[in-house]
Copies of this chain bind each other. A is one copy, B any other.
Amino acid sequence: MADGTIGWTLGDLAALVGGEVEGDPGTRIRRPVSAGVDDPEGITFCESADYLAKAEATSVGALILPPGLSSSKPALRHPVPRLAFAKVLALADRALPIEAGIHPTAIVDPAAQVDPSACVGAYAVVERSAVVEAGARIYPFCYIGDGCRIGAKATLYPHAVLYKDVSVGPGSIIHSGVVLGADGFGFMWDGQRRFKIPQAGSVELGAGVELGANTTVDRATTGTTTIGAGTKIDNLVQIAHNVTIGEHGAIASQTGIAGSSTLGDRIVMGGQSAVGDHVTITADVTFGGHTGSAKDISEPGAYFGMPAQPVGDGLRSYMMVPKLPDLARRIRELEKKVKELESQ
């Protein structure tokens, strides 16, 4: 957030994000802040009495409260404080600057189609037969390869690279350093060297997908590597060739999904997770952090560990690892005692 913003009165905020003002509607708010931050011009949200106690111990200027919690501070009462807070965040945020139309330094192939309402930034390259739909924003240094399609209102941040035949759904957000459509990792060993298997397929992202910085999604050998609508992927994630991921999932940073695996809808994966190749994970599966499976999972539910187990079991196993030296000692002890018993 830039400093020196004039901000809003609490009354303004109520009009902008919904909710009822309690206390002085003229209270000046300049920025959303985390619970616990000391900022008389800040507003934070409280979902529980704990959050409220934490916020009341600070000089924060105003609170967003759910039904049932009260404070002497000025407040916005809202049925879902977190949602109202997200709306305040949206007001406080601002997009990276870009102007409508094609920047004079952008190189757009004459055979590409760019909607007049789209933005193509400085030093972007848009290759032949690419299509950029209405309201899409292509920031500087993006490379949009031959045959790519950028859906309406999609955003490609600076330095995104799309090789070719990559389709980005409407409203998707592709962060900087993302590489879409690089060659899948496919080779044949002929006894002496690795012969490259050409990767002739494509990548297709549904509507409202988000890909974090420096994440890579390889194009399929044949057919399509697919990420379903609404799925959100964090930074530095690897999605290999011919993977299919369902809709509305969330995959945290540094996770890797190996080739030809299929993940259902609403998959959630913690950071540094892993799925082996040719694995099928059914819908509504949640992986904790650093969880991996090289086997199919056909039961929805929460899993943890390497190898992944149902979360309770997985945590129990994981917490046993520090006890291994003790278990080994107790086994030695038992062996000694049993030997003594046997010799009696």
Chief secondary structure at chain A's binding surface: loop
Q: Which of B177, B195, B319 contacts A177 (CB 8 A)?
A: B177
Say yes or no: is A238 at the interface (Cβ < 8 Å to chain B). Answer: yes
Cβ–Cβ < 8 Å partners of A53 in chain B = none
* Chain B nearest CB, measured from A33 CB (Å): 5
Contact between chains at A235 and B235 (CB < 8 Å): no
Q: How many copies of this chain are found per oligomer?
A: 3
Contact between chains at A306 and B292 (CB < 8 Å): no
Q: How many residues of A contact B (CB 8 A)?
A: 119
Q: Which of B122, B143, B195, B309 contacts A159 (CB 8 A)?
A: B143
Say yes or no: is A320 at the interface (Cβ < 8 Å to chain B). Answer: yes
Cβ–Cβ < 8 Å partners of A318 in chain B = 306-307
- Chain A positions within 8 Å of B, measured between CB atoms, are 1-2, 31-34, 37, 82-83, 86, 89-90, 92-94, 96-97, 105, 107, 122-123, 125, 127-129, 139-141, 143, 145-147, 157-159, 161, 163-165, 173, 175-177, 179, 182-183, 185, 187-188, 192-202, 208, 210, 212-214, 216, 218, 221-223, 230, 232, 234-236, 238, 240, 242, 248, 250, 252-254, 256, 258, 271-272, 274, 276, 289-290, 292, 294, 305-307, 309, 313-314, 316-325, 327-328, 330-331, 334-335, 337-338, 341-342
Contact between chains at B194 and A230 (CB < 8 Å): yes
Cα–Cα distance between A92 and B25 once the two chains are bound (Å): 66
Contact between chains at A194 and B325 (CB < 8 Å): no
Known contacts A238-B271, A307-B319; decide if A2 and B165 are in contact (CB<8 Å): yes
